[in-house]
Structure 1
Amino acid sequence: MSGAMGKAFADLSNGLGLSHVWVHQAYHAISAKYKRTVLGSLWISGAMVASSVSMAIVFGGIFGQDLKVALPLIMAGLLTYAMIVFPLSEGPEAFVGNSTIIVNHAYPFTYFIFEAVCRSFFIFLHNLVVFYIMMAFIGSIAVPHWTILPGLMLAFTSMITWSTVTAMFAARFRDVRFMLPFLSSLFLVLTPIFWQPSMLSGWRLALVHYNPLYGLLEVIRMPLLGQMPPTEAWIIASITTVLGLVAWLVFFPANRRRIPFWV
């Protein structure tokens, strides 16, 4: 196992060493998708803005919240959720979607994970610009809290480790490719994006206390709104990240060499 562990960390190191390649490829994949369109990359944020405004109007009315309160929470929640749910939504395709390259070229396997996560981060940054434009428009703009930096570090670590695991399982068991995106849609409702934890009581609080995405959501969303995330969010985010590291250390070294045969 020590040899397999060494090769796994060598793969990780080689993948990081190709950062100039996967950063360029991630940017190119996004820009090429909207080539020759009138609005270009504005289409990326269009759905988020439309969904956020619609949800803020509906759920704000249901829960008696002012639009200036509901819209920042929902919009910050949606743009954050789209990134942190990556291991369930797009992560399963990281190896299967690059099967031709994996079979014919000796790229480190972590390269494909880094490229996919980088692409998700670029979309997050794009949406973030639109988010602050909207906040300025409604007069609710806030300076990001400094805790967004450790929050992003936890999110990136969790995305990389868990995406590696889900990509391997999706390559080995093809039904996982369809099951995990379904779970990402399910967690969209179960995670406090359109509602707040204070609105729940009794056994329903388990949706917060045992939700692995809740912590990662709050340690990024709350700083975007200029607030300090609650202690519980840090604990849950840390547990999710540590479990991801453990899962990576268990599954990636043991199965790394099998990936080309699975894809």
Structure 2
Amino acid sequence: MHATSTVPAAGESVAAEKPVPDRRSWNRAFADIRDGVTQRELWSHLGWQDIKQRYRRSVLGPLWITMSMGVTALGLGLLYSQLFGAPIGTFLPYITTGFIVWQFILGNLTEGTDTFIRNEGLIKHLPAPLSVYVLRTLWRQSIMFAHNMIIYVIVLAVFWGSLTKSGYVLTDNGVPQPGLGWSALLAIPGFLLLAVNAGWVILLFGIVSTRFRDIPQVITSLINLMFFMTPIVWTTDILQNRFGESAGWRDLVVELNPLYHLLQLVRAPLIGNEQSWHHWVISAGIALVGWILALVVMRNYRSRVSYWV
């Protein structure tokens, strides 16, 4: 008997017999996120180093974040309270908390688009999951948010009597608010849901921006418009007082603004405002849809990021 020959026929490639790994895999996408979360020491260290590097050789260090936030909130609070005829004791805390949360949202939007571009050197030389750089940006913004909360504590101490009074209003003839109480603890899960939304924003826009470098400029331009369309330095009471119950499309400017609902998750409980359940539902829906889009992009283009940067 003659042994069966295992020599491939002419023109037949041996390499063709080996299965080619599929780079577009859901398992790879989920494994990247799972591995990134487990490498907490890496992304937390990188995020903290970003803060230290930014304020290197500065006397006050990261406290400059707090000081600039406090000056901005104080100046705009005094100005707009006079323009709208609002009591300073409740309107200044409203603007202060709005700015603190807005800065967190703004930082994740603008710096999120540069997440992978800024980490080009590490991506090409450090074998780490892409989600590490997403968590690095999110952690850095969370540290800055914590610094800014010092201003909230100071404002809270100064205007404690105004905020804890049941039935206080933000503007003249505004909707009475329940006042500050134990419901302020809802700001904790509210911030966690806000951070979950920030995660998909950084991941999605970070990957897209590596391919299309115009995205950061587009986001920067749109964010300036969104600032004025979001109730930060003005309140929804102003629309009702000006146009009554038939505000029409003017109400849609607020309700169709996703940043408004994300903002209210944290701001409303911090100052004792009434918080509607629909803010939580819409924010959770945004997180669900956003993470689906981010994971689809992660699955299809994760392997190309190192070439695009």
Q: TM-score with structure 1 length normalisation?
A: 0.93
- Counterpart in 1 of 2:288? 242
Higher deviation after alignment, 168-177 or 218-227: 218-227
Question: Structure 2 regions of 5+ residues with no counterpart?
Answer: 1-21, 164-179, 240-246
Question: Structure 1 regions of 5+ residues with no counterpart?
Answer: none
Q: 1:1-263, aligned counterparts within 5 Å?
A: 4-139=25-160, 142=180, 145-200=184-239, 201-263=247-309
What is the letter of the counterpart of residue 31 of structure 1?
K
CA contact (8 A) 2:24 2:301 kept: no
Q: Structure 1 CA distance, aligned partners of 2:110 and 2:263? A: 15
Q: Structure 2 CA distance, aligned partners of 1:172 and 1:51? A: 35
Q: Deviation string for 1:17-49 (max 9, x for gaps)?
A: 111121122122112322322222221012211
What is the letter of the counterpart of residue 231 of structure 2?
P
Structure ID, larger Rg: 2
Q: Structure 1 CA distance, aligned partners of 2:66 and 2:201? A: 26
Q: Structure 2 CA distance, aligned partners of 1:48 and 1:130? A: 8
Please provide the CA RMSD for this pair: 1.8
Query: Offset at 1:228?
Result: 4.6
CA contact (8 A) 1:215 1:235 kept: no
Higher deviation after alignment, 11-20 or 180-189: 180-189
Relative to structure 1, the CA distance from residue 36 to residue 85 in structure 2 (aligned partners, 3 Å threshold; closer, same or farther) is closer
What is the letter of the counterpart of residue 48 of structure 2?
Y
Relative to structure 1, the CA distance from residue 227 to residue 204 in structure 2 (aligned partners, 3 Å threshold; closer, same or farther) is closer
What is the letter of the counterpart of residue 88 of structure 1?
L
Higher deviation after alignment, 222-231 or 5-14: 222-231
Q: Structure 1 CA distance, aligned partners of 2:24 and 2:223? A: 35
CA contact (8 A) 1:86 1:120 kept: yes
Q: Structure 1 CA distance, aligned partners of 2:24 and 2:57? A: 49
Q: TM-score with structure 2 length normalisation?
A: 0.80
Relative to structure 1, the CA distance from residue 86 to residue 239 in structure 2 (aligned partners, 3 Å threshold; closer, same or farther) is farther
The aligned length equals 263
What is the letter of the counterpart of residue 173 of structure 1?
F
Q: Deviation string for 1:226-248 (max 9, x for gaps)?
A: 34522232232122212211211
Secondary structure of residue in 1 paired with 2:112: coil
Q: Which has the higher helix share?
A: 1
Q: Deviation string for 1:193-241 (max 9, x for gaps)?
A: 1111232222121221111111110011112113452223223212221
Query: Offset at 1:2?
Result: 10
